[in-house]
Structure 1
Amino acid sequence: MKPIDVPTRNFPTAKEECRNLPPHPEYDGPGSAYELAFKDESFLLRQDMRGVRMQLELTKPEVLLNEHDVKSTIVIFGSARILSAEAAQSLLAAAEASGDETQLRIARSKLAMSRYYEEARRFAEIATTECTRRGRPVVIATGGGPGIMEAGNRGAYEVGGKSVGLNIVLPHEQYPNPYITPELCFRFHYFGLRKMHFLMRSVALVCFPGGSCGSGSASAFRTVRPACRSRRRPILLFGREFWTKLINIDLLIETGMISAGDEKLFQYVETAEEAWAVLEAEPELSSINAP
């Protein structure tokens, strides 16, 4: 016999209360304080309620990720502007037809960078397939947008896996890509809480060009260093040529922007297969995935 939940039996839940509230026309109008506090949107959106909203934004993903048994993630960072090979080829064809040299130069660059989309997609396929095969899946997580983020979610989707998308409200709306598991597609207002959710379950961070890891000379270090302060985890940088041009590590150490030894937090990789081989050799990740 199922045990009785006495508090639930004795009192209606908040959901039941809201569903069964009788109307009170004389107090239901604009400006009335009669609405239940947790149902009063105008009250919850007040500046005074920022702390409550932050708690909600921390708690909602936490509760739903737990409900879907998402305990560990491999986080993929990267530019929203990197195209798939198909999209880049179409862009190049249009540029060639136009004859515009500027468009041609940009399109050729986009096509060259599209290899990172394909590597991100392939990496997510391999990671999802291998982790699922071992019986204790580690789920791919991205920022939920286009470009490299789409590639990560797409790779997991195409092999039947689930993946997480942590989207953010931006001045120019960033829509979630179509490959995220719907139950695991979240939208954030607070950047700090979004970053916290990136790190909370992460067992590895995989950084492609652009995005929050590649928007400035030391931003990759600032983005992932909190992860290293809490618990060591592998951090992979796809594309040595790109990263060594973007980040002058010797200068950063010399000027005190990072500490000597911080450069050892990262490892360069070129292909999806190489990246997975690095992660497979990690003792902690191996133990998570042990049959």
Structure 2
Amino acid sequence: MAAKKKQVISTDPGKMIYHNMDFIDSDNGRPIRIIAEFMAPNQIFQQEGVQNTIVFFGSARTLPMSEIKKRMKGCKDKKELARLKRLEVVAEYYDAAHELGAKLGRWANKQHKGFAIMTGGGPGIMEAGNRGANDVGTSSVGLNIRLPFEQHPNPYIDDKLNLQFRYFFIRKYWFMKLAKAMVVFPGGFGTLDEMFEILTLIQTKKYGDRMPVVIFGSKYWNKVLNWNYLAETGMIDKDDLKLFHFCDTVDEAYDVVTKALEKTME
């Protein structure tokens, strides 16, 4: 096994050590990077008046139906055509996230309580949610994370609310910190990870307030997971299935979220 290459920190006479990016990016600088990602978003949200968020989760790979049809037209690459046909099955969810983002955005604008639509900041479902918020002038937050593929900030995030993260666990913290509701659209490993961490925190009462969690697209999710079997085998309590709501239409998801939130504001 090759020895780990020793990191060399360059020095710049007269420059403060905390301005030395060689150090900040080094292994020894990791605690400082972590603290910065914990602390800086709070100041940004305060400056921009973001007090409450409705969070959208879902796949970065999802495309709107119009874009899929456009790309399919004249496509001669069999591999790409097969990929687009697979994505065509879930394209409706991009369009639903876009519509729901706008509808919840209009509701949020009337509340005057610093509501924002928050996503993971990338393409796909995340883009759709930010796009809906952007369409109606609602604060649009993106918590982007640097990855070797897929993830790049979408163009519908407010410039001052486009946050870049290095660490998944701190990004998850900020998803939860201001969240008053969550909507989980079809997705892969990342979406499953985010959804189950949230449900676990609510289930174990680690998250203070019981908030509405919508799982959008029962046709998709019931194929991916056998929810009832979890309860039948005692892996979860039957009542744990009440921690979330399956919704299949934008109007249904809108009603679940807004009715729950309006009760808390009474």
TM-score (norm 2): 0.86
Residues 119, 130 of structure 2: 8 Å contact kept = yes
Question: 1-side partners of 2:255 and 2:12: how far apart?
Answer: 62
State the secondary structure of the residue aligned to 1:210.
coil
Question: 2-side partners of 1:35 and 1:104: how far apart?
Answer: 55
In structure 1, the residue matched to 2:156 is 179
In structure 2, the residue matched to 1:47 is 27
Aligned CA-pair RMSD: 2.4
Q: Are residue 165 (structure 1) and residue 145 (structure 2) matched?
A: no
* Range that drifts further, 192-201 or 257-266: 257-266
* 179 and 289 in structure 1: CA distance in 2 versus 1, 3 angstrom threshold: farther
* 274 and 210 in structure 1: CA distance in 2 versus 1, 3 angstrom threshold: same
* 215 and 221 in structure 1: CA distance in 2 versus 1, 3 angstrom threshold: closer
* Range that drifts further, 45-54 or 58-67: 45-54
In structure 1, the residue matched to 2:6 is none
In structure 1, the residue matched to 2:3 is none
In structure 1, the residue matched to 2:196 is 221
* 224 and 66 in structure 1: CA distance in 2 versus 1, 3 angstrom threshold: farther
Residues 77, 212 of structure 1: 8 Å contact kept = no
* Range that drifts further, 234-243 or 85-94: 85-94
* 49 and 260 in structure 1: CA distance in 2 versus 1, 3 angstrom threshold: farther
1:72 to partner: Cα distance = 0.3
- CA deviation map 1:220-263 (0-9, x unaligned): 32344224531211110111111111111233335554444222
State the secondary structure of the residue aligned to 2:105.
helix
* 198 and 57 in structure 1: CA distance in 2 versus 1, 3 angstrom threshold: same
Trace 1:1-291 onto structure 2 (pairs within 5 A). Answer: 30-32=10-12, 34-95=14-75, 98=76, 100=78, 104-172=81-149, 174-211=151-188, 214-215=191-192, 220-228=195-203, 229=205, 230=207, 231-254=209-232, 257-282=235-260, 285-286=261-262
1:62 to partner: Cα distance = 1.1
1:38 to partner: Cα distance = 2.0
Say how many residue pairs are matched.
255
Residue type of the alignment partner of 2:49: D
Residue type of the alignment partner of 2:252: E
Residue type of the alignment partner of 1:225: T
1:91 to partner: Cα distance = 2.5
* 117 and 44 in structure 1: CA distance in 2 versus 1, 3 angstrom threshold: same
Residue type of the alignment partner of 1:109: R
Residues 128, 139 of structure 1: 8 Å contact kept = yes
Larger Rg: 1
State the secondary structure of the residue aligned to 1:166.
strand
1:159 to partner: Cα distance = 1.3
Question: 1-side partners of 2:138 and 2:61: how far apart?
Answer: 24
Residues 234, 266 of structure 1: 8 Å contact kept = yes
Question: 2-side partners of 1:260 and 1:166: how far apart?
Answer: 33
Question: 1-side partners of 2:239 and 2:59: how far apart?
Answer: 27
TM-score (norm 1): 0.79
* 105 and 46 in structure 1: CA distance in 2 versus 1, 3 angstrom threshold: closer
1:152 to partner: Cα distance = 0.3
In structure 2, the residue matched to 1:5 is none
Unaligned runs of 5+ residues in structure 2 are: 1-8
* Range that drifts further, 174-183 or 257-266: 257-266
* Range that drifts further, 42-51 or 164-173: 42-51
Question: 2-side partners of 1:243 and 1:213: how far apart?
Answer: 14
- CA deviation map 1:16-73 (0-9, x unaligned): xxxxxxxxxxxxx943565212212122223222222111011111110111110100
Residue type of the alignment partner of 2:262: S
